[in-house]
Amino acid sequence: NALMESGEVHISHLTFGYAPTHPVLHDINLFIPSGSFFGIVGHTGSGKSTLMSLLLRFYTAQSGSITIDGRSIADFSDEHFRASVGLVPQEPFLLAASARENITMGRDISEADVIEAAKAAHVHNLILQLEQGYDTPLGEGGARLSTGQKQLIAIARALAGKPRILFLDEATSHIDSETEQIVQIALSELRHQVTIIAIAHRLSTIRDADCIVVLNHGKLAERGKHQEL
C-alpha cells in the first residue's frame, strides 16, 4: 500500500443512486490524465457533487469502477487516500482558529509550506493584511471572510497537504468577480503540478481547463475545451 503517484483517474461504467432504485449517475465513463485540469459543469442537481463524492469514496457505486494510478480506489488505505487528495468543498468550513491553523488543520506542516500553499492559493497577501497576519483568528465559521475568501483559504488548506489530486466544488453562493478570477488564476497556475478536478458553476472559472465535461441529468452529455462548449 502506498500514496498515489500520478493521480490518473479512470471511471468505467459508473452507475450510482442514493436510493439504488433511483440512479443519479448513469453509466459514466471518464479518463482523467495525470496532471490535467478537468472541469465539470451542469445544471443544479445534475450529479456533479455526487460524482465527486464517489471519487472521494464518500459513497460506493452500485456498479462500475473507479481506478486511480490503475488501482481500485477501494484498495488505498484511509491514511494514504486522505494524504493523496485535497478537497475544496462547495461550502468550506472554517474553524474558530487562526489563519495558520485553518491551513494546517492539525497536520504537521512547516511554516514555509503553509506560506507556499497560501501563495499558490493567492490568499497570502490577504492574510498578511489582517491585523495579526497568520495568527489572526478567523472567527466562528470564518465569519469575517466572504464565501470566496473562505474558498481561497480552503484551497490553501488542500494544497498544504501536497495532494496528487485537487478536488474543487465551486461555491454556489455569490462570489465577487475579483475572487472568482483569483480562483481561476490559481487553478490555471496549478495545472500540470497536480491533477485538478473542478466543478464549476461559472464556465469562466475553468476556462483554462484541458477538458470540460457537461453532466446532464446524471449522464455525460458533452466534452470539449472551453471555446468548444
Site of interaction with ligand ATP (CB under 6 A):
18, 24, 42, 44-50, 172
Q: Pick the stretch among 45-53, 120-128, 174-182, 184-192 that binds Mg ion (CB under 5 A).
A: 45-53
Long-range CB contacts (within 8 A, 24+) of 110-117: 113/160, 113/162, 114/156, 114/160, 117/156, 117/157, 117/159, 117/160
Q: What is the dihedral of CA 220, 222, 227, 228, to 10 degrees?
A: 160
- Rounded to the nearest 5°, which phi and psi values hold at 96? -80, 75
Provide, rounded to whole angstroms, the least separation between the CB of residue 47 and Mg ion.
9
Rank residues 49 and 184 by Cβ distance to Mg ion and give the closer one.
49
24 binds, options Mg ion, ligand ATP, none, Cβ within 5 to 8 A by partner type: ligand ATP
Asked if residue 49 binds Mg ion (CB under 5 A), the reply is: yes
Provide, rounded to whole angstroms, the least separation between the CB of residue 184 and ligand ATP.
18
Rounded Cα–Cα distance for residues 74 and 68 (Å): 10
164 binds, options ligand ATP, Mg ion, none, Cβ within 5 to 8 A by partner type: none
Spatial contact of 214 and 42, defined as CB atoms under 8 Å apart: yes
Provide, rounded to whole angstroms, the least separation between the CB of residue 160 and ligand ATP.
25
224 binds, options ligand ATP, Mg ion, none, Cβ within 5 to 8 A by partner type: none
20 binds, options ligand ATP, Mg ion, none, Cβ within 5 to 8 A by partner type: none
Provide, rounded to whole angstroms, the least separation between the CB of residue 66 and ligand ATP.
16
The residues, ordered by sequence, that sit 6+ positions from 108 with a Cβ below 8 Å of its Cβ are: none
Residues that bind Mg ion (CB under 5 A): 49
